[in-house]
Amino acid sequence: MGKFRCRCGMGLSNHRIPNDVELIVYTSVEWEVINEIDSLDYMPEPKYEVWHCKQCDRVHVFKGSKHIKTYRVELIDEDNERENHVLDP
């Protein structure tokens, strides 16, 4: 991908390897395919690139070179979270 400017103004880059910007994220379907591979000499690339801005905590999702989504942090009230959780305890 290269370089990207977050909405907060922070410049993001994945040129250095390793880096704290690019997250390696696989869908569960992609992960199942990886688990069926006999040898991990070839590790397929994830379908999406996911970048994290350390300044504002936004997460940016790219498909190829196209920026398709941005997720912004929403703080959770712990009392409210206990009442409205959707995951099994």
- Does residue 79 lie in a domain region? yes
Reading the block at residue 52, the tokens are: 């994290």
Distance CA 47, CA 62 (A): 9
- Compute the half-sphere exposure of residue 25: CA atoms within 13 Å on the CB side of its CA: 13
Q: What is the pLDDT at residue 44?
A: 87
The string of pLDDT tens digits covering residues 7-31 is 999 999 988 889 999 999 999 999 9
SS (H, E, C) 46-60: CCCEEEECCCCCCEE
Per the structure, how many domains does the chain have?
1
Using pLDDT thresholds of 50, 70 and 90, give the confidence band for residue 80: low
Reading the block at residue 89, the tokens are: 């305890």
Residue 81 has pLDDT above 80, yes or no: no
- Does residue 21 lie in a domain region? yes
Residue 82 has pLDDT above 80, yes or no: no
Residue 74 · residue 81 · CB < 8 Å? no
Percent of the chain, pLDDT > 70?
A: 87
Which range of residues forms the domain containing residue 51? 3-84
Block residue for tokens 């996911």: 50
